[in-house]
Structure 1
Amino acid sequence: MCGGVKAAAGRSVRTRLRDRLAASDPGLLRLTAGLRMVGSVALVLAVLALAGAGVAQLVAGAMTATVATFAIRERQRGAQAVTLALGLPVALVSVSLGAALNERVAVGDVFFVALIFCAVYARRFGDRGTALGLIGFQVYFLSLFIGASADELPGLWAALAVAFACSAVMRFAVVPVTPAGLLARLREAFRARLAQLVTAQVALLDADADEVDEALADVRTGTARLHETALMIQTRLEQGTSDASSARLVQRRIADAEITAERLGLLLLTARSAERADTLTLYLPGAPAPEAGRMSPPDEATAALRRDLLSLRSQVLYAGPGVEGTSIAHVRNRLLAYRDEENLPACPPALQDVFRVIGEAARAVMGLRIALGGPQDESDDTPATALSREELDAEDAAIDAGEEGEPAEQATGLRRPTTRAAVQVTVGSSLAIAGGELLSSQGWYWAVLTCWLVFINTESTGEILVKGYRRLVGTVLGVVAGIALATLVGGHAWTVFALILVLIFAMAFTAPLSYTLMSFFVTAMVGLLYTLLHTYSWEVLVLRVAETALGAACGVFAAALVLPVRTDRRTNELLATVLERLTEVTEAAVDQLSGGPAADLLDRARELDKALGELRAATQPLTHPVTPLRGRRDTARYVVALLETCAYHARSLAATAELLPTHPSIAADPRLRGAAARTVRNIATIAARVAGEDATAGIETGPSFASLLGGSGGDGASRYGRITGRVLRHLERLDEAVVGLARPLDVPLASDDRAVKAARSKDGSDTPGHRG
């Protein structure tokens, strides 16, 4: 076993646990949110208890601290401080109005509806408007929950002030998060997830015939998680780096590592089959591994391949700062040597491709090490390693800040999403108030809260329906848990508060993962709060379920009938955006590969990834397990998988194109522009069809890209030939995936369309009035 693997085996338990945590919670965002929230609530309870506050003040302080913690989403600490300072007067005014209007039912309901409209409309002013609107709504809801009165206001004001102060202490002193520190943790999470993906790829290599599909599913999951982390890093580069050049350096290194890891998984899959593996297999959930030509029993080449994959994993594990050693350098040098043809093992071409990409992955990991800020000891470098360093240094020197894109045109009036949502929530909340008071004059506000919450971070009717369903399921299960917990600890106030802290942490930690789980923990916590307020009963919790169901129904009703955004319309708009971004990336990459001017290709590729992520989220109502439309669900998954395949090849083209200015061994080929024109036209045709602009155009098919270029670029004897061949393969696969999109999106082939027209012309079927 090589030295790098032995070193990896000797890693401390603490280090392994740290990597597991970093991979499971990138940037420790969920852990930080949970610690901040629990710390704020615990500190508030301690301060108020020492001051002799009553139970109502304790509950008010705890709930306000929770709101003040999760409502603020700005990334700069100064902006967070300003929003937190503005939030306190908003909260004081809100609780005061709630207490004053508590006994004036009609006036209170009218004001509550107006407050809801303003709170939602405030989202148009960005993170600060969203936070202040959320604080205003939640604190008014708090006043209804505890039954606040005018006589209690001085004590409640004090409790709210303490809550905001404690939230500030936890945010800025006890659990601080700086943009640079968060970016560093996200980069560590990327490294840890990259190591997990390589581990899954080793398992794919070792899998027996009956285990390969499960191993492929793990590779697919690891690839998706790595991509998720790369996008999280992308969104925080501007705030977390000192200048634009540093941001682009990190972006380049992350992109290189991600793309190379994807290629490694695809080539491993190809090595297990008689023919090349379809890229779609790596992105379509449940797609089986290629059945033909399973890998032969282990021989010397496959044993070497497994050894080198484990060595690559050790390189990834030790890519963090402050790690170096002779064994690590030796393994790195050996893997980098695979980039030179003469060092490849004697084995079939498919396996040789895997060894080559392992060499490219080792280079990407070395670049990632530079981005992570580790020390660079060059004393043990071989010529191949020295060449890789020179290439990386040349790329770093060529990085510039790029240009700012033009701001997107904003919708106005009722077409603006925040205005439309404000109107919808206002209508839905009005219905929830009316229906809720019919169910109970005491607990009607739970229906309003549910109606409000199902509209947060949703755009279409289908998304609101799914979110309402998840909240109802979580509430039902939470009621059961609340009954059990209240029965066990009822009457022991501090035991109840301790359990509430546990549930608050669980709520904050699971919120980004599962809305159902978050609703479960919130409902269980509310059941315990009822015991503190001496209003707990089985009937109260059952009423909570009924009010939740009513609120969800009112939200869905308002979304469906008031300025509705149908799921089909939403997904079509996002699909058109994805296709537009795909066209931009492909066209710009091919133009640069053809000798055109340099462009911000990686930025454009990430814009494509962002648009694709939004489309994936919007299709959740179509792909939800309980949807009765199975065919539609399968089609949506297939289309998204095809688009992810397109995005992978577009990212790869962009990454290769960015090598041109710094690598004299890679030459531009002007013929690529003409060869790729068909693919670009096909993407534009599909986009026009989806947008309803052209219902007659069809996509084109034709000869392979290699034949269009006269077969050049297939020479594998030189690095130029390999790079050109790689570009052609990516263009070919991208073209195939685009053509594959035509069928589920009902876009005809141009040749088929011409044949149909010719047939109709022959038999007179296209004459006016013909019905066919």
Structure 2
Amino acid sequence: MKAAGRSVGARLRDHLAASDPGLLRLTAGLRTVGAIALTLAVLAPAGLAITHLVAGAMTSMAATFAIRERQRRAQAVTLAVGLPVALASVSAGALLSERVVIGDVFAVALIFCAVYGRRFGDRGMSLGLIGFQMYFVSLFVGASPGQLPGLWAVMAIGFACSAVVRFAVVPVTPTGLLERLREAFRARMARLVTAQLALLDAGPDEVDKALEEVRDGTARLHETALMIQSRLEAGTPDEPTARLVQRRIADAEIAAERLGLLLLSARSAERADTLTLHLPGAPAPEVGRMPGPEEATALLRRDLVALSTVVLRSGPSGTGVAQVRNRLLGYRDEENLPAGSAAVRDVFRGIGEAARAVMGLRIALDGPQDESDDSPATARSREELDAEDAAIDAEETEEEKGEKPKGLERPTTRAAVQVAVGSTLAIVGGELLSTDRWYWAVLTCWIVFINTASTGEILVKGYRRLLGTVFGVVAGIMLAALVGGNTTAAFALVLVLIFAMFYTAPLSYTLMSFFVTAMLGMLYTLLHTYSWEVLLLRVEETALGAVCGVVAAALVLPVHTDRRTNELLVTVLERLSEVTDAAVGQLSGGLPADLLDKARELDQALGDLRSATKPLTHPVTPLRARRTNARYVVALLETCAYHARALAATAELLPTHPSIAADPRLRGAAGRTVRNIDTITARVADDEVTAPVETGPSIASLLAGDDAARYGRITGRVLRHLERLDEAVVGLARPLDVPVTAPDR
């Protein structure tokens, strides 16, 4: 039954699925390398010049990584339209190569259009990338008008090879990708349970490290859940199925995170704060031996291993796994809980709830299961899941239509103007450094604007690109000396470096820049233009381009990091208020709301904020207090989001779960929390707002009274989430400089 008993191949697949969810990085690397290799295999027998081979390889690479659509039909259309765009761009580069001023003006106009194209969605961004990249391919290989017919043929072959690899050799369908993401979710959930097991056994000197692993596992599980949510509509046959999978993924994530919190609480002198699971570097609470008899600890250890095994089992369970599942689900009944302290018994309850969430996820993903070995506890859990599934409908919700920015306020227009100005500066400075390699400065200036929205993000990206380039130059020198004049070895190294570039791109921009520069060293070797001076010039041009990008971002229509993070913070708080208010309203007996979509919007807004605060939390930032404050605020918001998601999931159980009943008193008791969220939102959005955040009696005390029995039982879990959410919202007031007042009574 232990994970060690599984086959080596299965363990390797689980490891790969957990480290690369959906195999997105592996697929990107294989597609790009495959397209380049196929292009070279087609072109090499024709005895073409090295410049044509390099142009063909770079064309297939650009045609592969530029495509952004998820549907295969849309990808095919973009590839078909991208070929004439690429031909026109290369032709312009060749025809204008001898006309410096006109060529520079055209380059700036092309860059503006390429960035502005993001306004038109994925296809606009893809065509902009193709046009921009192919213009600089013509400069890189020194294309002339007389070479154009040969280059056109080579480029057409590059596009064709890219299409063959994309649609036939390494195909990716939305359904298949979603299936791999589901496997990644299972693998990461199993890893999180394993990390929780390590936390159970950690000694006093090891608990901080064990807690960090639990914290990292929780974050990775949430990351995978967001990736699944973003692909549900394309990867599922209909809306009800998408909603069902979304619900089960959310249940499993909440159950896994709650289990870690309960385990940490059982090991500490008092109930652990949820913030501890979200704040990087937060010290673990003081811990000691697990309370209660040793037998209970041994059972916990056994059942955590069993839970990890049940999570990973995606096929037919078999009698042995069914018996383990029945035992874990039995912990949902009080009479089956082992003897121990209240905190330890809570952990066993958490294991039971996690097992139920795993079973619900398996039913949603794999369809009906064999029920012949079900225990009474398992049968009851299955009935609850069936009732919940039946309650999920496919009602469509109207999207909010807010006023969109226009003119220079539109992000795509602003970015296009900024990059055009920055590129103009880079062209002028780059040509002063080199009349032949000036385009490296422009390329760097353009790249630092991709997927960035504030001056701070551009500064960090420029710094990382420069750092990767410096180390890449050193690697390029060593590799060039290693291959010498061997063309085959150089092309083989180029393929290896390109694969590494695409495989590491989502993990580290510095690593990606390192592999790009090392690859360029190989290309220069192939073109017989390699020298130490060329690679040193590469560093100088990169530094110049990064500086020009930062200057343009800071002086032309700037979006300061503070402004960007404040805007996103307001969005997160508004989404948090909506989820909380809707969940409390439903728990109070109000009309049903689309809580799943609201919770998803909250998660997306929080993810955007987390990305925007990276410049503030970067290790090299000199503003240490500001970095600590930003991390603390994000961690508090993640804590709030966790409790809001849990409340939303509980509220959706009302029609089907017998132990949860609506209580009208909840709206009044939790109204203070919603008002406090709105107060903080107004304060962040407008410095003139002076309304304070209110504190007062606990929510549990507000619900105590003679009416408790009248409205049915409100579970302790609901109260705990409400109280923790209330505490976290009040905690946000201090770092955001919002005054806090307490009533006299």
* Interval containing the TM-score (normalised by the shorter chain): over 0.9
1:389 aligns with 2:373: no
The match for 2:724 is 733
Shift of the alpha carbon at 1:182? 0.5
User: 2 CA distance for matches of 1:302 and 1:99?
Assistant: 73
43, 56, 68: which one aligns with 1:73:
68
336, 346, 362: which one aligns with 1:369:
362
User: 1 CA distance for matches of 2:283 and 2:621?
Assistant: 23
Amino acid at match of 1:744: P
The match for 1:33 is 28
User: 2 CA distance for matches of 1:9 and 1:720?
Assistant: 47
325, 335, 340: which one aligns with 2:333:
340
Q: Is the 8 A contact 1:714 1:724 kept in 2?
A: no
User: 1 CA distance for matches of 2:145 and 2:712?
Assistant: 79
User: 2 CA distance for matches of 1:713 and 1:268?
Assistant: 34
Gaps of 5+ in 2: none
User: 1 CA distance for matches of 2:164 and 2:256?
Assistant: 42
1:328 aligns with 2:321: yes
79, 99, 105: which one aligns with 2:100:
105
The match for 2:683 is 689
**How is 1:630-645 mapped onto 2 (pairs within 5 angstroms)?**
630-645=624-639
192, 195, 212: which one aligns with 2:190:
195
Amino acid at match of 2:155: L
The number of equivalent residue pairs is 743
Inter-CA distance 371–92: structure 2 relative to 1 (3 Å threshold): same
Inter-CA distance 491–293: structure 2 relative to 1 (3 Å threshold): closer
Q: Is the 8 A contact 2:192 2:217 kept in 1?
A: yes
480, 485, 488: which one aligns with 2:482:
488
Shift of the alpha carbon at 1:274? 1.1
Shift of the alpha carbon at 1:751? 4.4
Amino acid at match of 1:728: L
User: 2 CA distance for matches of 1:714 and 1:146?
Assistant: 79
1:228 aligns with 2:219: no
The match for 1:456 is 450
The match for 1:172 is 167
User: 2 CA distance for matches of 1:272 and 1:20?
Assistant: 29
The match for 1:426 is 420
Shift of the alpha carbon at 1:183? 0.4
Cα distance per residue 1:632-669 (max 9 Å; x no partner) = 00000000000000000000000000101122332101
Q: Is the 8 A contact 1:98 1:148 kept in 2?
A: yes
User: 1 CA distance for matches of 2:656 and 2:696?
Assistant: 34
Cα distance per residue 1:439-465 (max 9 Å; x no partner) = 111110000000000000000000000
Between 1:94-103 and 1:689-698, the stretch displaced more is 689-698
Gaps of 5+ in 1: 755-772
1:478 aligns with 2:472: yes
Q: Is the 8 A contact 2:276 2:282 kept in 1?
A: yes
User: 2 CA distance for matches of 1:411 and 1:348?
Assistant: 57
Inter-CA distance 745–22: structure 2 relative to 1 (3 Å threshold): same
1:748 aligns with 2:739: yes
Shift of the alpha carbon at 1:603? 1.2
What's the secondary structure of 2:418's corresponding residue?
Answer: helix
Shift of the alpha carbon at 1:695? 2.5
Between 1:326-335 and 1:214-223, the stretch displaced more is 326-335
45, 50, 64: which one aligns with 1:50:
45
Q: Is the 8 A contact 1:469 1:552 kept in 2?
A: yes
258, 268, 275: which one aligns with 2:270:
275
- Name the Cα RMSD after superposition: 1.6
Between 1:338-347 and 1:554-563, the stretch displaced more is 338-347
What's the secondary structure of 2:694's corresponding residue?
Answer: coil
**How is 1:372-771 mapped onto 2 (pairs within 5 angstroms)?**
372-373=365-366, 376-404=369-397, 405-692=399-686, 694-710=688-704, 721=713, 724-751=715-742
Cα distance per residue 1:528-581 (max 9 Å; x no partner) = 100111111000000000000000000000000000000000000000000000
The match for 1:159 is 154
User: 1 CA distance for matches of 2:421 and 2:389?
Assistant: 55
User: 2 CA distance for matches of 1:121 and 1:452?
Assistant: 12
What's the secondary structure of 2:715's corresponding residue?
Answer: helix
**How is 1:280-291 mapped onto 2 (pairs within 5 angstroms)?**
280-291=275-286
Q: Is the 8 A contact 2:91 2:148 kept in 1?
A: yes
Q: Is the 8 A contact 1:336 1:384 kept in 2?
A: yes
Shift of the alpha carbon at 1:332? 0.7
Runs of 4+, deviation exceeding 4 Å: 711-715
User: 2 CA distance for matches of 1:751 and 1:203?
Assistant: 41
Give aligned-pair identity as a percent: 78
Q: Is the 8 A contact 2:616 2:626 kept in 1?
A: yes
1:252 aligns with 2:266: no
Amino acid at match of 1:521: F
User: 2 CA distance for matches of 1:373 and 1:620?
Assistant: 38
Shift of the alpha carbon at 1:696? 1.0
Q: TM-score, normalised by structure 2?
A: 0.98
Shift of the alpha carbon at 1:9? 3.2
User: 2 CA distance for matches of 1:59 and 1:116?
Assistant: 23
User: 2 CA distance for matches of 1:463 and 1:403?
Assistant: 36
265, 278, 282: which one aligns with 2:260:
265
1:216 aligns with 2:211: yes
Amino acid at match of 2:421: V
Q: Is the 8 A contact 1:275 1:292 kept in 2?
A: no
Amino acid at match of 2:226: L
User: 2 CA distance for matches of 1:232 and 1:298?
Assistant: 42
Q: Is the 8 A contact 1:64 1:164 kept in 2?
A: yes
Q: TM-score, normalised by structure 1?
A: 0.95
Q: Is the 8 A contact 2:291 2:344 kept in 1?
A: no
Q: Is the 8 A contact 2:659 2:715 kept in 1?
A: no
